[in-house]
Amino acid sequence: MGFRLFSVLLLFLCPCLTSWANAYTVEDVVRIALERSPYVKEAVYRLEAKKYSEKKVSSRFFPKITFDYTYTHLKEEPYVKFHYDLDLPLPFTVKIPEKHKVGEHQSVKWGVQATWNLFTGFYLTSLREIERLGVKAEGFRKEMAKVEVAHWARAAYYGVLIAQRNLETAKEAVKQLEAHLKDAESFYKNGLVPYNDVLKAKVALASAIEKRTEAEKALETAWVSFNLLLRNEDVYRRHDLSFKLSFNVDRMLKDKDELYLLAMKNRPDVKAVMASVEAARFKVKAAKSRYYPWVTVFSRYEQSGDNLLANKNDYSNRENFALGVKVDFLIFDWFGRKYDVHRAKSGVLAAQQVLEQLKDRVRLEVQEAYSAVEVALKNIRTAKAALEQAKEDLRITKLQYSQQIVSSSDVIDSEAAYIRAKNNYNNALFSYHVSLSLLARACGLVDLKPLFDLKGE
């Protein structure tokens, strides 16, 4: 008997346990969004492209080897003319022209050349540092993309929760007004209330049904946004969400100034702009490289002949080897170098101003998000008290209506006030969690935990 009872309980509990096990937490949604988001993947690919660009610049420090092959076919065989003076006892010189063949109809020439930039006035080293800092900046942009996606994921999650709450409230409003309509019709049949009480109840019920329909569509849209963010094929699919809109009194938000310092330390986009400022300084050094001589070492091996392999040549050297040094020193270019240096220095100043603007924007974002959290906290307390008062007012008004002390309009007004108070409370909870997510984004955080000082455990 005991085994059978255990089997029956297990049969009923298994679906519930499975549903609980498959329920999404906020952390689950953030993790899946980070894995699947095209926004993050785009940042990853941009980082990879920048790394290849850095490798390309680094390759310029090594000798470059090239191969060239030239085939030429001439209509006539090449020759040279010579004039011979005949030594004859004549009062004038007799010249006899003579042609000498110097090649064939076809000629082939190929060679292998190695070129090495021995010194470029620190241009290549500056360029390599610029690319290295570019890789660093792209890495920070990738991290900022993760911060953005984490916020979008939390916002989508909370968006579904508030849409569910709004739909529940709308259904509750319809249910209450249906009950009120039945009471009004019953009282009207018994001659206790005029017919306009019934009409008012019907109008209020119709309005509530419209709002319920709007809430259903809003929930459907919220699920579409949620599934698109998670890259689910079925955008209308509905999932179990383990998190509920609530307020955790065990968490205390850190001080605003502390959070601002945290933002300056953690914001990836700030770090990216700092790297850009450093790269701009190396651009100045690269512009100054033209004040130095550029030294290039080269060597070349070549063959020339009249067959395809260029290994047959009866008229000149079949093969040859050359080794040389080239010095390129710009003497005067009508102050072009000077203007390039000034342009690069202006770029540094511009990048520094971009950094200052970003720091100001980060400070403002932290301030706005922190204020939004504080407002939401106050609204939660106010809305909760208002909800309790509206609930009690509705109970008293319904009791008074059953005793014919108040009219149908009073009941409808009390029910509307109760629904409005409930929506205000839910929206305050929603605003609190979204504002926390915005504050985490403003501080450059993927997780919310660093925002708080936890009490006890």
Q: Count of CB atoms within 10 A of residue 41's CB?
A: 13
The single-letter code of the amino acid at 5 is: L
Do 230 and 157 reside in the same domain of the chain?
A: yes
Q: Is the pLDDT of residue 94 over 70?
A: no
CA torsion, ordered 39, 44, 45, 50, to nearest 10 deg:
130
Which distant-in-sequence residues (6+ apart) come within 8 Å of 246 by Cβ? 429
CA angle centred on 15, ends 10 and 21, rounded to 5°? 110
As a whole number of angstroms, the distance between CA 351 and CA 333 comes to 28
pLDDT score recorded for residue 14: 46
Shared domain check, 184 and 135 = yes
* Residue pLDDT, tens place only, 7-62: 444 444 444 443 444 688 989 999 999 999 999 999 999 999 999 999 999 999 99
Q: Read off the pLDDT of residues 188-210 as tens digits, 9 standing for 90 and up.
A: 888 888 888 888 888 989 999 99
Domain count, the chain: 2
Per residue in 116-127, pLDDT (tens digit) is 999 888 989 999
Q: Based on the fold, state whether residues 166 and 315 are members of the same structural domain.
A: no
pLDDT of residue 186: 85
Do 318 and 351 reside in the same domain of the chain?
Answer: no
Cα–Cα distance for residue pair 389/384, rounded to 1 Å: 9
Asked if the structure places residue 17 within a domain, the reply is: no
| Residues 443, 321 within the same domain | no
Residue 81 shares a structural domain with residue 57: no
CATH of residue 57: 1.20.1600.10
Other beta carbons within 10 angstroms of residue 256's beta carbon come to 15
Q: What backbone torsions phi and psi does residue 296 show, to the nearest 5 degrees?
A: -125, 130
pLDDT in the model for residue 3: 47
The answer to whether residue 405 is domain-embedded is yes
Q: What is the reported pTM?
A: 0.83
Q: Please give the average per-residue pLDDT across 415-443, as a whole number.
A: 93
Instruction: Please check whether residues 115 and 170 belong to one and the same domain.
Output: no
In this structure, is residue 2 part of a structural domain? Answer: no
Q: Is residue 5 part of a domain?
A: no
Q: Residue 220 falls within a domain, yes or no?
A: yes
Q: Are 428 and 378 in contact (CB under 8 A)?
A: no
Report the share of the chain in percent with pLDDT over 90: 60
16 domain-assigned: no
Same domain flag for 312 and 378:
no
Q: Which of 213, 187, 234, 244 is nearest to 407 (CA)?
A: 187
Same domain, 284 and 216: yes
Average pLDDT rounded to a whole number, residues 258-275: 94
pLDDT in tens, 282-318: 999 999 999 999 999 999 999 988 888 878 887 778 8
Q: Are residues 31 and 44 in the same domain?
A: yes
β-pairing, 251-253 with 452-454?
A: antiparallel
Number of residues in the chain? 457
209: its two tokens? 């049904």
- φ/ψ of residue 211, rounded to 5: -65, -35
Q: What DSSP character marks residue 24?
A: B
> Mean pLDDT throughout 450-454?
81
Rounded Cα distance between 269 and 148, Å, is: 11
Q: Measure the CA–CA gap between 40 and 43, rounded to whole angstroms.
A: 5
- In sequence order, what E strands does 64-203 have? 64-73, 79-86, 94-101, 106-119
Same domain, 40 and 107: no
Query: Hey, how many other C-beta atoms are within 10 angstroms of the C-beta on 346?
Result: 12
Tell me the two tokens of residue 295.
């030294």
Structure tokens at 350: 């511009």
- Residue 309 sits in which domain range? 64-119+294-328
Six-digit token pair at 266?
């953690």
When comparing pLDDT for 279 and 85, which is higher? 279
The mean pLDDT of 361-378, rounded to a whole number, is 94
The model's confidence at residue 65, banded by pLDDT at 50, 70 and 90, is: very high
Reduced to 3 states (helix: H, G, I; strand: E, B; else coil), residue 427 is helix
Residue 80 Cα to chain centre, angstroms? 70
The set of residues, in sequence order, having a beta carbon less than 8 Å from that of 326 and lying 6+ positions away, is 295, 296, 297, 298
Any domain includes 367: yes
Residue 95 has pLDDT above 90, yes or no: no
> Which amino acid, one-letter code, is at 187?
F
Structure tokens at 50: 């920048």
Q: Are 450 and 443 in contact (CB under 8 A)?
A: yes
Q: How many Å separate Cα 160 from the centre of its chain? A: 23
Structure tokens that stand for 398 in this block = 């319904």
Neighbour count for residue 401 (Cβ, 10 Å): 22
Residue 18 lies inside a defined structural domain of this protein: no
Largest CA distance in the chain: 159
* Residue 452: pLDDT over 60: yes
Q: Is 314 found in the same domain as 208?
A: no
Q: For 226-256, what is each residue's pLDDT tens digit?
A: 999 999 998 888 888 888 877 765 578 889 9
